Structure 1
Amino acid sequence: MRLSLTISLLFFTLFAQATVYKWVDKDGKIHYSDKPIENSEAVEFKSNTQNQIKLQMPKANASASNDDPESLTQYNLSIASPAEEETIRDNEGKITIMARISPDLDTKHVLVLLMDGVVVGTPQTSPIFSLKDIDRGEHSFVIKAVAQNGKQLASTPPRKIYLHRAIISRQGTPTPFGGVN
C-alpha cells in the first residue's frame, strides 16, 4: 500500500509542473500568471534556467562611499620632511613636519597630526606643522586627511624621528674658600 502511494505521488509530481502564462495588458505592461488569461501564451523555459546572483565584493578602500560626495576625493598623502629616522638637534624641542598631498586639500577637509598615536595641536588645512617643547627621544608621526564628519580620507605611513635635545642644568660655580683669589 505504501509503495503504491509513493509511486503514485512521484508520478504526479513529474506531471505537476505548473505552466506559466504571459500576456500584455491594454497599457502595454507584461504580466505572468499560472492561470491562462484571454490572449495569453504559454512560456517555455529552457532546462538551464536558474537564478544566478552575483554579489559585488566591497572595494578594498572603504574610505570612499557613493552616498557621501565629499569622500570621493582620493588623496595621496606623504610626509616630505623630516626623513625617516632622521635625528633633529634642537635644544628648544622644535620640530617642523611637512606633508605632501595631491590633489590639493578640499576646503571641507583638514589635516591632523598624530605624534606617538596622540593628536597634537588643532586640525589645519596647511601641510606644515610646527611643534615646540617636544621631549627628546624617538617619536612616531602620522598625518591624516579627515572630512568634516570625522571620516578618515587618507593617512601617511608612520615616520620615525629622533629629537636630540641637550639639557644642561647649570649649578652655581664653586668659589674658593674665603672668596679671594
Structure 2
Amino acid sequence: MRPLLLLLLLSLAYPVMAQIFKYTDAAGNTAYSNQPPNGVDAQTVDLPPVNSIQRQLPSDTEQPAAGTRSRPTHNDYNVLELSGLPTAGVVRANNGTFTVDVLIEPRLQGTHLLRLLLDGQPYGQPSNVPSLQLINIDRGEHGLAVQVIDGERVVQQSPTATVTVQRAHKR
C-alpha cells in the first residue's frame, strides 16, 4: 500500500519537475518553453529552489529572564479592556439596556471574535464589532469582562470591571 501511495505522490509532483528551455527564435528574440523546438539549439535553464520559511513556534519550556515580559505570540493583544463605562462605575439605564465599548490593540485578528462576560458567564453572541450591547440587565452590581476567542478557545481576557446598574423603580 505504501509503495502505491509513494508512486501516486511522485506522479503528482512530476509536472512540477518539468524542464525549462531557452532558445532564440527566428526573429532573434530570446524565448522560453517547456519543450525544445525542433531544429533549434536550446539550452536548459536551471531554476533556483523556491524560497520557503519554516515557522518557528516558541517552546513551552522556554522561560523569559527574570524581570522581563515574555515576547507576545501572534495571538497576544497589547490592549484589551472595556471602555465607555462611567468613571464612578454606575450605569443609569431605566430599561436595563446599555452599551460597552472594547478597546483592543492591535485590531482583531483572523478568526478571533469578542465575547462579553456578565458576572463570569458568556453573554450574547460573539462578535467582531468592538461595541457590545447589554439588554434588560437587572439592577445592582455586576462584573463585566470581554474575551477574545478563537472558536471555543479563549485567546485572552480583559480585567473585570465592576459596574452598578441603576433602574427606575415605580411604586
Smaller-chain TM-score bracket: 0.5 to 0.7
Aligned pairs for 1:33-72 (under 5 A) are 56-58=61-63, 64=73, 72=74
Rounded to whole Å, the distance in 2 between the matches of 1:56 and 1:97 is: 38
Q: Which residue of structure 1 lines up, in the alignment, with residue 166 of structure 2? A: 164
Rounded to whole Å, the distance in 2 between the matches of 1:125 and 1:152 is 15
Contact 1:89/1:163 (8 A) holds in 2:
yes
SS at match of 2:96: coil
Equivalent residue number for residue 47 of structure 2:
none
The letter of the residue matching 2:170 is I
Query: Once superposed, what is the RMSD of the aligned Cα atoms?
Result: 2.5
Secondary structure at the residue paired with 1:91?
Answer: coil
- Which deviations, in whole Å up to 9, do the C-alpha atoms of 1:107-154 show, x marking residues without a partner? 310001000011000110011111111000000001011113x22222
Alpha-carbon spacing, 1:56–1:114, altered in 2? closer, same or farther (3 Å): closer
Q: Return structure 1 stretches of 4+ with deviation > 6 angstroms.
A: none
Aligned twin of 1:133? 136
State how far apart, in whole Å, the 2-side matches of 1:122 and 1:56 are.
36
**What residue is the counterpart of 2:155 in the other structure?**
153
One-letter code of the match for 1:113? L
Q: Deviations over 1:66-96 (max 9, x none)?
A: xxxxxx2321211112045521112100121
Amino acid at match of 2:164: Y
Structure 1 length normalisation: TM-score?
0.53
Instruction: Check the 8 A contact 1:84/1:159 in 2, yes or no.
Output: no
Match of 2:98 among 95, 100, 116: 95
Aligned to 1:119: 122
Task: Determine what percentage of the aligned residue pairs are the same residue.
Answer: 26
Normalised TM-score (structure 2): 0.56
Deviation at 1:156, TM superposition (A): 0.8
Task: List gaps (5 residues or longer) in structure 1.
Answer: 1-54, 65-71, 170-181
